[in-house]
Amino acid sequence: MRTAHFDTGRTWRGGQQQVLHLARGLASRGHEAVVFAPDGPLAARARAAGLAVRRWRPLGEWDLGALAAAAAALRRLRPDVVHAHSAHAHALAVPAARVAGVPAVVVSRRVDFAVGAHAGSRLKYALPVDRYLCISRGVRDVMRAGGVPEARLALVPSGVEIPDAAALAREAAGAPDLRALIGAPPGAEVVGTVAALAPHKDHATLLEAAARVVAARPGARFAWLGEGECRAALERRRAALGLEGAVHLLGFRPDARALMSQFSVFALSSRLEGLCTSLLDAGARGVPIVATAVGGVPDIVRDGVSGRLVPPADPAALAAAILEALADPAGAAARAAAQREAVAAFSVEALVENTLRVYHEVLEERGRSGR
């Protein structure tokens, strides 16, 4: 089967990791996977993995030149499936695929933002897509509420690499000491998060919760891994709360997974969340989890069984759950062990197999078998 994957992200975030996981997995199973992406981390990593990469640089969601270029490339490539992996790719790759006569067109939907909130969104979701691959039940619910027919929705959760004991040991051996990195003493309690500093991640609530946690446990520290547009505002609020010595913004870290293994607790404060692969990575490493019960998070974490879930935008509840985990490390560890078992359902292998199943279903509907 020949597949073409379109993504417009110019940075490295969870969506780009999923494109790479899928394309590599397809290639390892004997399928052809061609990645269309702008110059950036995804293109570089895909090339390093031995994948075919075509440079594609849309200037916006409705860049007609990029649409025409994609259609011309697809006519030459003649793929069985076009898979759009981002919002802008959805708007451009879908009509390009239809113009080029591609048999099957699918779109990954990774966020739980409302569908059809504005004219551009309504136009995009009127495009002829065979399947939307929803990464969680929460995302699927949003799509249903937006009027997308049930027959065009498929549940395909994101996948992560689940390390075995040997892989974890190698990861730890090559990692810097997190506590030394933030100037905390050995053994200090560190509450960490790995998330872009974006509005929907709601680090502002986590900052207010941090103030409560530090007031109760003055030795506790917070380590935030991720970069984004909200940094300046968060730094100002951190200063106003007097938390410069307790909350450390470490920016984007390529070694984020190795560092998260050293967290005492992983905390997620999102108001909206498609699924959150950082939670899966934390769970795979046995890190206790406290998270907001939004979007696809309840697909991953069962409250009181494999972690703690709290309402969004509630600093008091978030702080209380973090303090509970810090005060009862044995209970937190037991929940983390249950979470590690649950993460097995979200492997890269499952992602690839579930996606292939959808590809084959659509091709059969179209009277094609795929090569």
One domain for residues 186 and 150: no
pLDDT, mean over the chain: 96
One domain for residues 245 and 145: no
Check: CB of residue 210 under 8 Å from CB of residue 222. Answer: yes
First CA to last CA across the chain, in angstroms? 4
Indicate whether 370 belongs to any domain: no
Indicate whether 36 belongs to any domain: yes
One domain for residues 7 and 149: yes
One domain for residues 194 and 332: yes
One domain for residues 210 and 91: no
pLDDT tens-digit map of 9-67? 999 999 999 999 999 999 999 999 999 999 999 999 999 999 999 999 999 888 999 99
Q: Which domain holds residue 131?
A: 2-159+347-365
One domain for residues 143 and 218: no
One domain for residues 311 and 240: yes
Quickly count: other Cβ atoms within 10 Å of residue 106's Cβ. 24
Indicate whether 371 belongs to any domain: no
Indicate whether 207 belongs to any domain: yes
Indicate whether 321 belongs to any domain: yes
Indicate whether 146 belongs to any domain: yes
One domain for residues 46 and 145: yes
In the chain, pLDDT over 90 holds for what percent of residues?
93
One domain for residues 204 and 76: no
Q: 233 falls in which pLDDT band (50, 70, 90)?
A: very high
One domain for residues 27 and 173: no
pLDDT tens-digit map of 69-102? 999 999 999 999 999 999 999 999 999 999 999 9
Q: Where do runs of H (alpha helix) occur along the chain?
A: 14-28, 41-48, 64-77, 87-99, 119-124, 137-145, 165-173, 178-181, 203-216, 231-240, 256-260, 277-284, 297-300, 315-327, 329-342, 348-365
Indicate whether 238 belongs to any domain: yes
User: pTM of the predicted model, to two decimals?
Assistant: 0.88
Number of domains in the chain: 2
Indicate whether 277 belongs to any domain: yes
Q: Looking at residue 117, what is its pLDDT?
A: 77
The CATH code of the domain that includes 300 is: 3.40.50.2000
Q: Looking at residue 371, what is its pLDDT?
A: 54
One domain for residues 100 and 226: no
In the sheet that 104-109 helps form, which strands lie side by side, from edge to edge? Answer: 52-55, 32-37, 2-6, 81-84, 104-109, 131-134, 153-155
One domain for residues 68 and 99: yes
Check: CB of residue 158 under 8 Å from CB of residue 280. Answer: yes
